[in-house]
Every structure is written in structure tokens, then in C-alpha cells.
Structure 1
Amino acid sequence: VCVKSHRGCNKAMHNDVKVDDALSGTTIISASFHFGRVTVCNVGDSRAVIGRRIRQRQPGDAEAEEEKEEVEEMSEVNITPIAVEDFKQEEKKQDPANTTVEDELEGRIGEIVAIPLSQDQTPYREDERERIKKAGAEVKSIDQMEGIEPMHENWDKVIAGEDIDENG
């Protein structure tokens, strides 16, 4: 359903005579909630986040245990790959004793935290550049396309969401 509707949106944009689509495309994100599950479909650099209140776990708290299992399950199926991996990296940098995610959240009871549900599909990400090239396409900046800048593969290690959003 996601693929069909997202392709339909892109096709409609390209077929609209009012849109100059020479350098345009579509970006779309959708979320469907059903039976306690969420399915997120993403094309482009759109982002989806969900807020979740951190609550105190009590021994024998079935609901809290269920929440913990849901978070672990989400991590296992890579629903939040950026958040989980980034958090693990930060843990290693900041805490030689290597505290756990639970330890970190313990001091934040009652807060609402943002949980990313998507990951930008942008050539600023190295894995996305590789995927694009494997599909037979080229990765170029506008300046490279217009002949202003020479072709190169020197894209540096850019962190989308930090370098791109804050520094252009």
C-alpha cells in the first residue's frame, strides 16, 4: 500500500504541468496506526517522530514490562536504527562505566522524549549514496550538474540532522 501510494504521489507531481520537475521530486512520509502497531513509510528527507512519556517502572508492572519489550522489539527490527545506534555510541563516549539505556532514562521520569520513526533518505548519508550508485545512478551536487564544480567523490562524513540542518 505504501509503495503504491508513494509512487502515485510522485507520478502526479511529474504529470502536473504547473510543476517544473527538472530538478524536483517528491518527499513523503506516512504513518499508519493499527492494533497497537505503527507502520511508517518514508521516501526522501521527511522525518517522523513520536513522543513518549518516560514512566517509572515498578516491580511486577506488567504494562511497564510490555513497554520495555516493545522498545526492545522495535530495536530488533530497526524501527529506530538511528536512535538506538547513536545512543549506544554516546554511551560509550560519555560513560566509562557503560550505563544502560534504562539507567539514562531513570533520571528523566515524567519527561516526554522524541523517538525517531524514520531515517532520512538523502545522499548526504554514505549508505544511501552507495545504494543510489548500485542502482546505476550518479550522485552529483547542483554545481556539479551545471559544470561549476568538478566531479568528485569527496563527500566527507556528514551527519544529516546535525551538519545539514544546523550548518547548511
Structure 2
Amino acid sequence: MPKFLSGFLPSKWCASANFFRKCFHFTCKMGCIQGKCCRKHAPSSRSDNKEELGLYPGQNAHIIANTSLDVVDVPAHNFRLTYSVLSQRGYYPETPDKENQDSYCVRTNIQGNPNVHFFGVFDGHGLSGTHCSTFVKDRLVEILSTDVALLDDPVKAYSNAFLATNDELHNSGIDDSMSGTTAITALVIGDKLYVANVGDSRAVLAVKEGNRVLAQDLSYDQTPFRKDECERVKLCGARVLSVDQVEGLKDPRIQSWGDEETEGSDPPRLWVQNGMYPGTAFTRSVGDNMAEKIGVVADPEVSTVQLTSSHPFFVVASDGVFEFLPSQTVVDMVNKYADPRDACSAIAGEAYNLWLEHENRTDDITIIIVRIKDLSNV
């Protein structure tokens, strides 16, 4: 089940519980209230633009974008990164020409430094979701690249870049009042990996332990399922309720929703005190100006890892991948393939099929796989 109420719901649409459920079902399934919500966006450069697909001929068709294979060196530590990207538009039976709202960005040699490389996935939502994700994937890396303090304090630079990008989006002319994007990004600086997350996409690192390759999450979904995030938005004035609670089908005083695996079909969401909006099921994003009033922020959580020879690869992907695929399953699938292009295709195909087993549509799916080659422990 999608984790956001894309497009959001004006309170006047929800005078009755039954009508609210109808509105809610439609926006969740379609991702946009009106289906054809975003004008077509012209392709940009190869390295940081999603690959568009044609129309799906049928529900069971699995069509994926072509993947590319690229290599970049990290000379300071004498290793290289081999990476591949795949972005697949979701299948939406009621709106077969709906755009892919995911964007991605790969930028190597940040600030002209051959040891600094950036990988990011941006999952747009709402009526202007495509424009939000495209704007953010362009501006975030540009702001990072111009920060003279990037190498001295990458964590602070990351936070400043996200907040500055958020401010620029608000003033860009794009209507982000009820639209925005999540962002999961990875920055390689020498033999250190910095992951900055806003929202519910994910970055995962593979860790070799003996004969096993284990998944280590480098980001944690920022949703009301997390007690710390739930309490934070409540202090900012948010009501946190599931749709059944908003409709009166469940007791709103029960502020326990289990976990995301078991309660993902009706997750806790954020609402203003006296209205039926915005209905976001995430607590951080870029954009979503209206939701900022109840605690949704663009400040990222940043994790840092010292890379070693025990780390064969990492994955950065939208929640179109991780909605039904656990991190360990994704790592196991990547580990089966020497070529990350093959791994991208296999994971996208499995995620696509699992979506159709559980829903009548699929989400947009975007994945970046980065293999770490020849890194020594010395």
C-alpha cells in the first residue's frame, strides 16, 4: 500500500466517511487525484535522468527501462565503483499514461574531485510530484557541489543542502503546497560513505561475514510507525490517525498501530487538527509546504560508514522496490549477479510482480546498484 496520500484531500471532499474512503482509495491507488496530473518533462542528460517507458499493453506486462553500466575510480584509496541505474514507470490501469514520478541523479567527481561521487533517488508524490522530484534531484547536488565546507563536514553540508533545496522548491513556482518528494542519497568521499535520507525510500549496504552477505540498512523510514518521529510531529500539532480511525471505524484514542509489515494497508497518517488533510504517511520530505505546518521537515538523517573490503556493494532505491522486498532479499538478489545491470532488472521484475500480487497497480520503481571493487583493508 502506498505510504502517502498523493495529491492530498481537501476537507470539503470528505463530508461523509464513505465518500472519504472513496476519495482515499482513488488517490492511493492512482498516486494523483486526476491521473494526468503532470505535463511531460523533456529528458536531460544520460547520467541523471529517468528513462521513460511506453504504455503498458496489459496488467501482466513487465516492461523495464534499459540499464547502463558505468565505472568511476576513487584514486585516493585505489578502488573503483561500478554502478547501474534502472527506473521503471509504474503500471496504473486507470491512467496508463501517468508519468514516472521517480527521478535519480548520479554525479561523479563532485567539485572536480575524483574521490567524491553522488548517487540519489527521488520519489515524487502529489499532483506536482514529477516536477518536485526533478527539481530536487537537480538542485540538491548542485548546492552540495558549491559548499566549500563539504569535505570538512559532510554531515552539516548535507543538512544545509536539503534545507536550502526545500526553500528553493517553495519559491520555484512549482506548486508544492500538497506535493513533494522523498530523497535517499549516498555520497562517497574517499573510503567513507555518507547516506542522507528524507522519507521512506532506502539505502542498504552489503556486508560480508564469512560465507554470508548480510544487509545493513543505512536509512530508516521516517513514518509515524517510528515512536520518535510520531512524538515529534505530535508536538508540532499533527493528529496521527489511520484512515479507519479518521472515519470512526476504530478508536482514535488507541495510539498503537503495530509495525509497518503488519499494518501497512492502513498506516498512521498526519492530519491537521480540524481537517481531513494532508494525510501523509511519512514525517519528512522535501516540499509538502502545507504538511510543514504539522511537523513534516526536510532535515535529513545522515549515517556514516567506513568502507572496507567487507563491503561488496550498496543499493539506493525508492520504496517501489522495498514495499514488498526486504533489504536482505534485495542484497541476496544483487549478490547472485556479477553485473549490476542484471541485478537491477531482476529486482525490478520481482518487485513489479509482487506489487501485482498485492495490488491492482504498481508503484514507480527506481534502483541504483553500486559495486565496490578492489578496496583493500590496508
Contact 2:187-2:194 within 8 A present in 1 as well:
yes
What is the Cα-based RMSD across aligned positions, in Å? 3.3
Asked if 1:44 corresponds to 2:144, the answer is no
Contact 1:132-1:138 within 8 A present in 2 as well:
yes
Poorly superposed stretches of 4+, deviation over 6 Å: none
Contact 1:125-1:158 within 8 A present in 2 as well:
no
TM-score (norm 1): 0.50
Letter in 2 for 1:139: R
Shift of 1:153: 4.2
Alignment of 1:9-158 (within 5 A): 9-19=165-175, 21-22=177-178, 24-55=179-210, 109=211, 111-134=212-235, 136-141=236-241, 143=243, 148-149=247-248, 152-158=252-258
Structure 2 residue ranges without an equivalent (≥5): 1-156, 265-322, 325-357, 360-378
Alpha-carbon distance in structure 2 between the residues aligned to 1:3 and 1:31: 13
Shift of 1:118: 0.8
Write out per-residue CA displacement over residues 24-79 of structure 1, whole angstroms, 9 at most, x where no aligned residue. Answer: 33321222222422222211112111122333xxxxxxxxxxxxxxxxxxxxxxxx
Contact 1:50-1:114 within 8 A present in 2 as well:
yes
Contact 1:13-1:26 within 8 A present in 2 as well:
no
Contact 1:50-1:117 within 8 A present in 2 as well:
yes
Alpha-carbon distance in structure 2 between the residues aligned to 1:149 and 1:19: 32
The alignment partner of 1:26 has SS state of strand
Write out per-residue CA displacement over residues 86-116 of structure 1, whole angstroms, 9 at most, x where no aligned residue. Answer: xxxxxxxxxxxxxxxxxxxxxxx1x332210
Sequence identity percentage: 30
Alpha-carbon distance in structure 2 between the residues aligned to 1:8 and 1:30: 16
Judged with a 3 Å threshold, the aligned counterparts in structure 2 of structure 1 residues 153 and 15 are, in CA distance, closer, same or farther, namely farther
Structure 1 residue ranges without an equivalent (≥5): 56-108
Shift of 1:12: 3.8
Q: Quick check: which one's strand share is greater?
A: 2
Write out per-residue CA displacement over residues 126-151 of structure 1, whole angstroms, 9 at most, x where no aligned residue. Answer: 221112223x231345859xx74599
Match of 2:21 in 1: none
Q: Quick check: which one's helix share is greater?
A: 1
